[in-house]
Structure 1
Amino acid sequence: MRKTISSLLIAGALCIGFTGAHAQSGFRFEAMAQPAQNDAIPLDTGPQARDVPPEHWFRMDGGANVRNVSHATLTPYLPANEEATGTAVIVAPGGGFLGLAMEVEGTRVAQWLAAQGVAAFVLKYRLVPTPADFKAFANGMAATRSGKPSSVRPPAETPEFAIQDGLAALALVRTHAKDWGVDPARVGMMGFSAGAFTTISASLAAKPGEKPAFIAPIYGRLTARDVPSDAPPMFAVLASDDHFFASQGFALIDGWIKAKRPVEFHLYQDGGHGFGLGRPGTTSDGWINQFMIWLRANHLAPTK
């Protein structure tokens, strides 16, 4: 199983931060060998336009993370044939576009969905470059977190290449829908933190007929965007104690309502930021069960 972390987060002006133990104890980085990625399917979106150091995997507080991704891939997690619902979700981990939390916000989510009969596809999208030297990267991240000058900073908005990777992932799943037991009319996208930015931006950038069937931005920024009349149904999640986004308002939700598009918004009392499938002991625990209820109620997945 591929292991990753929920640590690199995106906020406000896309500042980097860490939650839970990271915020209390600081960073604990260690290098690791690149894991096998035998099931990863390359996306035909091309490499970065600018030079990017080699892809690098590392552990932080025991979890694995990846940075300097220059070629996007999509990894399928398919349900057993007898459990398959025909619904599919592209899962975009977060990480401030500097890294990807492939376990907590990728693999674990995909495996949970597959167990519910939903075909899941973890998107490893392209990232902005970070220093090739591991120590320089770790020091830069620590400086950014403490508000000191640093070259390791996230972009101000969703990079165009990340949007293109999201659109390419949607197209690939639809192209191979029959092979994977997927209904091409029920291919959606879920993203966490920076992945939520990518999910929202890709859905709004998609041409008519190419938009995801639904989107689920999880603890992403919910500030105002222009919402078209054909915006996909949206299921959004945020915790009221999210120290990045809770204070920025929920104008995106209002935009979906004004556009008369289906929207469900769960503002949990607690959970902070980066809670993945839910932080035990907080009301965020179990939010993904509500997501499945929402899919079924909107006829986006069969009712059991």
Structure 2
Amino acid sequence: MKTPASPSLPMALPAAIQMAPEASAWQCTQLEREAVLRNVGAAALLPVLPPVGRGNGRAVLVVPGGGFLFVAVDNEGLPVAQRLAEAGYAAFVLVYRTQPTDVDDRAFQRALPLAWQRLAEQVAADGDLAAHGPAVDDTRTAMRWLRTHAADFAFDPARLGVLGFSAGARCGRALVAQAAPADMPDSLALIYGGFAGTVPRSPVPPLFLAQAADDPLFDRRHPDILDDWRRAGQRAELHLYERGGHGFGLRTQDATSDHWFDAYRAWLDRQ
């Protein structure tokens, strides 16, 4: 299946993998700093694989953020997957179903500031951002699909981790709170996804957390997720950076949060 045309994406999209009978469909919109995919009607995977003969037999499902309004493949998807592939990991960027937004790009962009304000208000009031059910379902489906087809991509189905950003991190948290054992990742990394309480099912994966303290979508009151993992008897590593804001991805900001990926790689290699 061919990827829908996305000429405004600075990084070319790899051929999409369709996990369900519905054809993948989305709208590409250029924001100020990045291109995003929105109005996603059916989930798909974008594979970024290591060079032939350089794979390490492991894989990571990368779940970008976007407040469930879009999928930030240009900031938190393909560049991250490329870094993982260069390190030997088979990486798969999940384009999950999003909430419907105005098909007119300018109207969508005008509405974004208010949408972000409402998300910040929700976090302030509830301590977290509610996960979008279809996106969580797509994350679970992607885990099942990848494990079924692991041999096609030369990785061990038992060595499949999840790396989620913002809304994608909420999908990862919801996944481990709901998943059957066969759907559970072997490692879980949550990047600026908050610390809200999450009681994981067994087998509990080791956890990596990276968060900027000045993130406007970060509730600072309760680092409950660390206690949840401690009670489950599993390892957790936390990196709380002084600065970085929200949605920094791999962007360089002259802050210590610029180095989160190196810390994640060092942690992931040891799992």
Say which of 47, 50, 55 aligns to 2:26.
Answer: 55
Correspondence 1:289 to 2:265: no
Q: 1:200 corresponds to which letter in structure 2?
A: R
Say which of 40, 51, 73 aligns to 2:16.
Answer: 40
Q: Is the 8 A contact 1:194 1:220 kept in 2?
A: yes
Distance 1:145 1:192, change over 3 A: closer
Alpha-carbon separation, structure 2, partners of 1:45 and 1:160: 19
Q: Is the 8 A contact 1:74 1:122 kept in 2?
A: yes
Alpha-carbon separation, structure 2, partners of 1:62 and 1:293: 28
Say which of 181, 185, 188 aligns to 1:215.
Answer: 188
Identity of aligned residues (%): 38
Q: How big is the shift at 1:156? A: 5.7
Alpha-carbon separation, structure 2, partners of 1:262 and 1:146: 34
- Where structure 2 has 5 or more consecutive residues not aligned to the other structure, the ranges are 1-5, 119-127
1:1-304 correspondence runs (5 A): 33=7, 37=13, 39-44=15-20, 55-145=26-116, 157-277=130-250, 279-298=252-271
Q: How big is the shift at 1:34? A: 6.8
| Superposition misfits of 4+ residues, deviation over 4 angstroms | 32-38, 45-48
Question: What do residues 94-140 of structure 1 show as CA deviations (whole Å, max 9, x unaligned)?
Answer: 00000111111001000000000011000000001112233332222
Q: Is the 8 A contact 1:240 1:246 kept in 2?
A: no
Alpha-carbon separation, structure 1, partners of 2:235 and 2:147: 23
* Larger helix share, 1 or 2: 2
Tell me which residue corresponds to 1:26: none
Distance 1:191 1:290, change over 3 A: same
Counterpart secondary structure, 2:164: strand
Alpha-carbon separation, structure 1, partners of 2:199 and 2:133: 17
Alpha-carbon separation, structure 1, partners of 2:239 and 2:131: 23
Distance 1:257 1:45, change over 3 A: farther
Counterpart secondary structure, 2:225: helix
CA RMSD of aligned residues (A): 2.3
Q: How big is the shift at 1:71? A: 0.7
Aligned residues: 255
- Greater RCO structure (CA 8 Å; 6+ sep): 1
- Where structure 1 has 5 or more consecutive residues not aligned to the other structure, the ranges are 1-31, 49-53, 148-154, 299-304
With the length of structure 2 as denominator, give the TM-score of the two structures: 0.86
Q: 1:106 corresponds to which letter in structure 2?
A: G
Alpha-carbon separation, structure 2, partners of 1:227 and 1:73: 26
Tell me which residue corresponds to 1:10: none
Q: How big is the shift at 1:81? A: 2.6
Alpha-carbon separation, structure 1, partners of 2:202 and 2:117: 42
Q: Is the 8 A contact 2:8 2:35 kept in 1?
A: no
